[in-house]
A and B are shown apart, each in its own frame.
Chain A
Amino acid sequence: MKFTRLDATVLTFCFAFLYIPILILIVYSFNESKLVTVWGGFSLRWYRDMWSNQGLMDAAWITARVGVLSATLGTILGTLAALAMTRFTRFRGRLLFSGMIYAPLVMPEVITGLSLLLLFVALGIDRGFWTVIIAHTTFTMCYVAIVVQSRLVTFDRSLEEAALDLGCPPVKTFFVITLPLILPAVISGWMLAFTLSLDDLVIASFTTGPGATTLPIKIYSQVRLGVTPEINAISTILVGIVTLGVIAASLTAKSRELQRQRDERAAFRAVG
Chain B
Amino acid sequence: MAVTEAELSSKPNPARWLVVLVPYVWLLLFFLAPFLIILKISLSDTAIAMPPYTPVFDGFASFGTFLSGLDFDNYVFLTEDPLYMDAYLSSLRIAIISTILLLLIGYPMALGMARAPTTIRPTLVMLVILPFWTSFLIRVYAWIGILKPEGLLTLILQTVGFLGPDEQVQIFRTEAAVFIGIVYSYLPFMVLPLYSALEKLDGTLLEAASDLGCPPWKSFWLITFPLSIPGVIAGAMICFIPITGEFVIPDLLGGAGTLMIGKTLWTEFFGNRDWPLASAVAVLLLLALVVPIAIFQNQQQKA
Does B associate with A?
yes
Q: Are A118 and B34 in contact (CB under 8 A)?
A: yes
Q: Are A84 and B24 in contact (CB under 8 A)?
A: yes
Report A95-109 CB contacts with B as 1/0, cut-off 8 Å: 011111111111111
Q: Does B289 contact A (CB under 8 A)?
A: yes
What class of interface size applies to chain A in its complex with B? Answer: 35 or more
Q: Are B34 and A223 in contact (CB under 8 A)?
A: no
Chain A residues with CB under 8 A of B126: 246, 250
Least CB separation from A229: chain B residue: B145
Chain B residues with CB under 8 A of A206: 269
Report B272-303 CB contacts with A as 1/0, cut-off 8 Å: 00010011001001100100110011001100
With beta carbons under 8 angstroms apart, the residue of A1, A14, A195 that contacts B109 is A14
With beta carbons under 8 angstroms apart, the residue of A37, A198, A223 that contacts B154 is A37
Chain A positions 199-217 with a Cβ under 8 Å from a chain B Cβ: 199, 201-202, 205-206, 216
Kindly state the separation between the CA atoms of A205 and B251 in the bound complex, as whole angstroms.
14
Q: Are B23 and A141 in contact (CB under 8 A)?
A: yes
Chain A residues with CB under 8 A of B203: 1
Q: Are B144 and A227 in contact (CB under 8 A)?
A: yes
Kindly state the separation between the CA atoms of A201 and B141 in the bound complex, as whole angstroms.
13
Q: Does B184 contact A (CB under 8 A)?
A: yes
Q: How far is the CB of A226 from chain B (nearest CB, A)?
A: 8
Report A219-233 CB contacts with B as 1/0, cut-off 8 Å: 110011001000110
Q: Does B78 contact A (CB under 8 A)?
A: no
Could you say which of B135, B269, B297 has the most chain A C-beta atoms within 10 Å of its C-beta?
B135
Q: Among B12-20, B61-69, B82-90, which stretch is in contact with chain A? A: B12-20
Q: Are A24 and B2 in contact (CB under 8 A)?
A: no
Chain B residues with CB under 8 A of A81: 23, 27
Q: Are A110 and B245 in contact (CB under 8 A)?
A: yes
Q: Are B22 and A80 in contact (CB under 8 A)?
A: yes
Kindly state the separation between the CA atoms of A118 and B136 in the bound complex, as whole angstroms.
25
With beta carbons under 8 angstroms apart, the residue of A118, A137, A202 that contacts B275 is A118
Q: Are B152 and A36 in contact (CB under 8 A)?
A: yes
Kindly state the separation between the CA atoms of A134 and B32 in the bound complex, as whole angstroms.
14
A-B Cβ contacts below 8 A, count = 257
Least CB separation from A119: chain B residue: B34
Kindly state the separation between the CA atoms of A19 and B187 in the bound complex, as whole angstroms.
12
Given contacts A21-B184, A25-B141, contact A88 B2 (CB under 8 A): yes
Q: Does B113 contact A (CB under 8 A)?
A: yes
Kindly state the separation between the CA atoms of A81 and B201 in the bound complex, as whole angstroms.
31
Q: Does A242 contact B (CB under 8 A)?
A: yes
Q: Are B201 and A103 in contact (CB under 8 A)?
A: no
Kindly state the separation between the CA atoms of A4 and B115 in the bound complex, as whole angstroms.
8
Q: Are A21 and B265 in contact (CB under 8 A)?
A: no
Chain B positions 179-198 with a Cβ under 8 Å from a chain A Cβ: 184, 187-188
Q: Are B154 and A11 in contact (CB under 8 A)?
A: no
Chain B residues with CB under 8 A of A21: 139, 142-143, 146, 184
Q: How far is the CB of A72 from chain B (nearest CB, A)?
A: 14
Q: Does B33 contact A (CB under 8 A)?
A: yes
Q: Are A110 and B247 in contact (CB under 8 A)?
A: yes
Q: Does A183 contact B (CB under 8 A)?
A: no
Given contacts A157-B1, A201-B137, A239-B134, contact A122 B37 (CB under 8 A): yes
Kindly state the separation between the CA atoms of A238 and B30 in the bound complex, as whole angstroms.
29
Q: Does A83 contact B (CB under 8 A)?
A: yes
Chain A residues with CB under 8 A of B38: 111, 114-115, 118
Q: Are B145 and A18 in contact (CB under 8 A)?
A: no
Least CB separation from B15: chain A residue: A171
Chain B residues with CB under 8 A of A187: none
With beta carbons under 8 angstroms apart, the residue of B22, B31, B137 that contacts A223 is B137
Q: Does A17 contact B (CB under 8 A)?
A: yes
Q: Are A37 and B1 in contact (CB under 8 A)?
A: no
With beta carbons under 8 angstroms apart, the residue of A7, A84, A109 that contacts B20 is A84
Q: Are A235 and B37 in contact (CB under 8 A)?
A: no
The 9 A-B pairs at the shortest CB distance, nearest first, are namely: A108-B245, A115-B34, A7-B112, A81-B23, A21-B142, A106-B241, A25-B142, A119-B34, A100-B27
A-B CB contact pairs (8 Å), 5 listed: A77-B26, A89-B4, A119-B34, A235-B138, A245-B133
B→A interface (CB under 8 Å): 1-5, 8, 13, 15-16, 18-20, 22-24, 26-28, 30-35, 37-38, 41, 51, 105, 108-109, 111-117, 124, 126-131, 133-139, 141-146, 148, 150-152, 154-155, 184, 187-188, 201, 203, 206, 237-238, 241-242, 244-248, 252, 262, 265-266, 269-270, 275, 278-279, 282, 285-286, 289, 292-293, 296-297, 300-301
